[in-house]
Amino acid sequence: MKLDTSKASISVLGALNMDLIMNLDRPANPGETVVGDKFYTAPGGKGGNQAVAAARVSNSQSVKFLGLIGNDNYGTELKNYLENESIITSSLLTEKDLHSGIAIIFTTNEGENYVNAVYGANEKKDMTLVESFKKNIKSTKILITQNELDEEITRECMKVANNNNIPVILDPAPFRKDREIDYYQMADFITPNETEAELMTGVKINNKDDAKKAAKILISKGIKNCVITLGENGAFYMNQNDAKYFKPHKIREVKASVAAGDAFTGIMGASLAAGEELNNAINNAIIGSALSVTKYGAQESMPYFQEILEAKS
């Protein structure tokens, strides 16, 4: 069973990276060597992760990906992986003179992750992506994006969505100090984690009360809807008229939290595109993000909708 979504109804604009992942007790200090116990490569990038998260809970060919890769082996692997997940890649551009995005990720035995990225082709300002989005506008029911690509590309795609009454979910990661508040006001939903919410508001988030304070600041700045993800502590939602705390979904074992936030955003977006009520969409996302940390990898860790349904029962 999957969410009832139509072809190309979910547009995901964002980055693709090849993740080089090492499992360690802790990252090394300067001048120190720390020996890990596991190394593997996995397709990643917040945009790619969110696209796969949305695709695995949706009907086949429901997700269209807009992004950039280099003309290299990593780029070919990244594209093939999306296509194997039944994601439409006709708007994935290959930049001949640039390398594909790379992320070196250290994961600890406690499930924490430390991400070091070089975005490569993802950083190119190619407005062709905006034109590609416009061409698909009639079938699009939601736009999911992040702060990974050039700001003008993201702004223009959000503007097109706004002009066509298409909801926008913006994951404000990685945090960019140069993004003005009007940029975030273009989104219908933002989905920061505790760190991003703190950077946006100055409120250090240790619990749901702190999340409420941060959310209130964001809403006061004209942001329409805010969902602050709290990892193992659930999520906090707020808009001008409502505020609600969502409890976490408990799991037995954490293997890697590399893409839990991306699982949340992608699953929430797919749920809304399928016409799910907001509370259900957020609950689906909380369960899905919890399930993702029980597996290794980024895109590979994304759950299927049947797993979410089973976890609910």
Identify the residue whose tokens are 């808009």: 239
Q: Give CA–CA dist 165/185, Å, rounded.
A: 14
Contact criterion met (CB below 8 Å) for 273 and 9: yes
Q: Of the listed 19, 188, 210, 262, which one is catalytic? A: 262
Identify the residue whose tokens are 């994935």: 92
Is 262 an annotated catalytic residue?
yes
Distances (CA, A) of 72 to 81, 98, 104, 121, 232: 15, 9, 18, 11, 37
Q: What is the DSSP letter of 34?
A: -
Residues 6+ apart with CB under 8 A from 94: 68, 69, 70, 71, 75, 121
Q: Which two tokens stand for residue 53?
A: 């998260």
Identify the residue whose tokens are 């409502």: 242
Q: Known catalytic residues?
A: 262
